[in-house]
A and B are shown apart, each in its own frame.
Chain A
Amino acid sequence: MRRFKEFLIEKIILLNGFACILFVILIFFFLAKDGLTLFKTVSPWHFLFGTLWNPLAEPPQVGILPLFLGSLIVTLGATVISVPLGMACAIFIGEIAPRWIRELLKAGVELLAAIPSIVIGFIGMTMLGPIVKNLFHLPTGLTALTGSLALAFMAIPTIVSIMEDAISSVPRSYKEGSLALGATHWQTIHRVIIPAASSGIVAAVMLGIGRVIGETMAVMMLTGNASVLPKTILEPVRTMTATIAAEMGETVRGSEHYFALFALGLVLFVITFFINLAADAALHQKQK
C-alpha cells in the first residue's frame, strides 16, 4: 500500500514537471502559428528592420525596428541603473550590514518586489515624470529615461535577492582564509567573494533584465508611446510589450495587424527565452 502511494506521488510529480514543459511548448506553437502567418504577406526583413510601425495605414506598415529599439533603450537604461545599485545593496546585505539591519533590508527588498507594477507606473507618472521634465527642460516627462528609472526600481528586488543568495552561499572558509592572510574586508569581498559568487551574480543580472524586458504596464504609462526611432534616452519611445498591450484589443482578428502583433510576441518570447537560458547557463556553470 505504501509502495503504491510512493509510486503514485512520484508519477504525479513527474506529470507536473512534464506539464510545465508542455505548456511552454504549446504557448510557443500558439504564438508561432499566428505569428508566422504574417510572413505570407510581409517579408521577415521588412518586419524586423522596417522603420515604420503604422499598422492602420493603407497598406499597413509593420516594421518593428522602432519598437525593438524602444525596448532596447529602456532595458539598457534600466540595467545600467539597477545593476550597480542592486549589486551594492546585495554586498551590503550579504557582507557588511550588522544582523538587524540585514533582516530589515531583506524584508524591505521583498516588500519592494511585492509592489504591483501599475502602482509603480502611477507613482512614476505623477512624481518621476515631472521631475525628469523639469530637470532636463523637456516638453514631456514621459520618456525612455522615466521608464528606465521605474523599471530599474522593479528589477532591483530580483537582482538583490538572487545576488545576495549567491554572496551568502560563498563558503565561510574562503572568507576566513583570505582574512587570515591579512587581506582587508574589502579586498576579501572583491577578490574572493565576488569571483566565487560570479555565476550567481551573472544569473541575477540576466533575470533582472528578463524582468525588465517583459514588463508592460509601467512602461506603457511612462514612456510616452511614440513609435519613432529613438535618438536619445530623453525622448518618448514605445516598447514591444506596450505595443501589444495597447493594440491587441482594437485589432481585427485575422488582419495583418493581428498577425503582426503575434509575430511581435514571438520576437519577445525568443528574446526572453534566450536571456533565461543564459542565466541558467551562468548558474550552472562549472569551474574549469
Chain B
Amino acid sequence: MSKIDIQNLDLFYGPFQALINVNLAIEEKMITALIGPSGCGKSTLLRCLNRMNDLIDGVKITGKVLIDGENIYENGTDLVMLRKKVGMVFQRPNPFPLSIFDNIAYGPRTHGNMNQAELEDIVEKSLRHVELWDILKDKLDYSALNLSLEQQQRLCIARLVAVTPDVMLMDEPCSALDPVATSKIEELMAELKKHYTILIVTHNMQQAARVSDRTGFMLLGKLMEYGETRQVFTTPKEIKTEEYITGRYG
C-alpha cells in the first residue's frame, strides 16, 4: 500500500478549477518531486495533503486523499492529528518571532504537557537532526529571527522534526537560499528520507533530478506524468514533459 494515495482530486478556487482529476500514489520513505510551470497547481496539491487549503475562503474539494489508508477529507477528520502527522516546510523560512528554543518546543508544547527536561531533550535531538546543535547550543534563547536564512530553514525543519511527523511537505524550500545553502539542505533531505516520506515542490529541475526518487510533472492543474525520476528525466512518455524538462517553456 502506498503511503499517500490521491484519487480523483478536483479543487476549485471559487469558479476556477486549480486541480483537475489528480491521481497520484506516493511511496513511503521516498522523496517525490513535483515539477511544472508557475501556476500549474503544485502548491495547491501539496496543501491538499495537510488540508491547509481549508483556510482559504471559497475552496471546494472533491475526491479522496488516503493517508495510511484513511481518507483525510472524510467528515470528522481530526485536523490537529493530521497536521501533526503531515508537516510542512514553507517557501520562505518562517520561524516564529520567539527564541530558538521556543520555536522547536512549540509543537511539543501544543501537543501535550511536557516537563522542561523532556523539552530540552527534544530540542537537542531535533537540532542535531538538522545539524544545528553544535552551532546553536549556546544560543538557544536568542531570537530565531537573527539566524541566516539557511539556518532559519533548517530550524523550521527541526521544528517539524520535533512533532515527529510521518510525512514532510516542502514547498520550494530552497528558493530563498543561495546555491551553497541549497546543496546543504539537499544533503539534509537525503538524510531525512530515512525517516520520513517527503514531497517536495521545486522549480529547479536539477534539484528534482538530484534529490528525488519519483517525479510528477504538472501542467494547468493536471498531473501529466508520474514515474521514477530517472525515467521521467531521460525518457519521458509525454511530449509536454520533454518540452518542459528541456527548457522549452516554464
Contacts and interface: CB of A to CB of B under 8 A. Distances in A.
Contact of B84 (A176, A178, A182): A182
Contacts of A99: 57
Contacts of B95: 177
A99 B58 CA distance: 13
Interface stretch (B86-94, B207-215, B217-225, B241-249): B86-94
Main secondary structure of the interface of A (DSSP, over half): helix
A181 B97 contact: no
B156 A173 contact: no
Contact of A196 (B90, B96, B160, B163): B96
A29 B203 CA distance: 65
Nearest to A193: B96
Given A174-B97, A195-B97, A287-B143, A180 B110 contact: no
B110 A183 contact: yes
B142 interface: yes
A192 interface: yes
B81 A181 contact: no
Contact of A177 (B57, B96, B109, B163): B96
A173 B97 contact: no
B205 interface: no
Given A187-B110, A287-B145, A288-B142, A180 B96 contact: no
A182 B80 contact: yes
Contact of A184 (B80, B82, B94): B80
A74 to B, nearest CB: 36
Q: For this complex, into which size category does the number of interface residues on chain B fall?
A: 20 to 34
Given A177-B90, A287-B145, A288-B143, A182 B163 contact: yes
Interface in B156-211: 156, 159-160, 163
Contact of A176 (B55, B57, B81, B142): B55
Nearest to A177: B94
A102 B160 CA distance: 33
B56 to A, nearest CB: 11
A99 B56 CA distance: 12
Nearest to B91: A173
A177 B156 contact: yes
A173 B90 contact: yes
A284 interface: no
B88 to A, nearest CB: 4
Contacts of B73: none
A192 B52 CA distance: 18
A184 B142 CA distance: 26
Interface string A164-202: 000000010110111111111001000110011000000
A182 B52 contact: no
A173 B88 CA distance: 12
A195 B102 CA distance: 12
B94 A179 contact: no
Contacts of B142: 288
B52 A181 contact: no
Given A173-B90, A196-B96, A287-B145, A180 B50 contact: yes
A178 B96 contact: yes
A191 B106 contact: yes
B202 to A, nearest CB: 19
B98 interface: yes
B107 interface: yes
B98 A180 contact: no
A187 B156 CA distance: 18
Interface in A270-288: 287-288
B125 interface: no
Given A173-B90, A174-B97, A191-B106, A181 B55 contact: no
Contacts of B79: 182
B96 A174 contact: yes
13 contacts: A174-B96, A176-B90, A179-B83, A180-B87, A181-B87, A181-B159, A182-B82, A182-B107, A182-B111, A184-B110, A192-B98, A195-B97, A288-B142
Interface of A: 99, 171, 173-174, 176-184, 187, 191-192, 195-196, 287-288
Given A177-B95, A181-B106, 14 more contacts: A171-B94, A173-B94, A176-B94, A178-B96, A178-B106, A181-B83, A181-B84, A181-B110, A182-B111, A183-B106, A191-B110, A192-B106, A195-B96, A195-B97
Question: What 8 A-B pairs come out closest when comparing CB atoms?
Answer: A173-B94, A182-B84, A182-B83, A180-B88, A183-B110, A177-B94, A181-B107, A182-B80
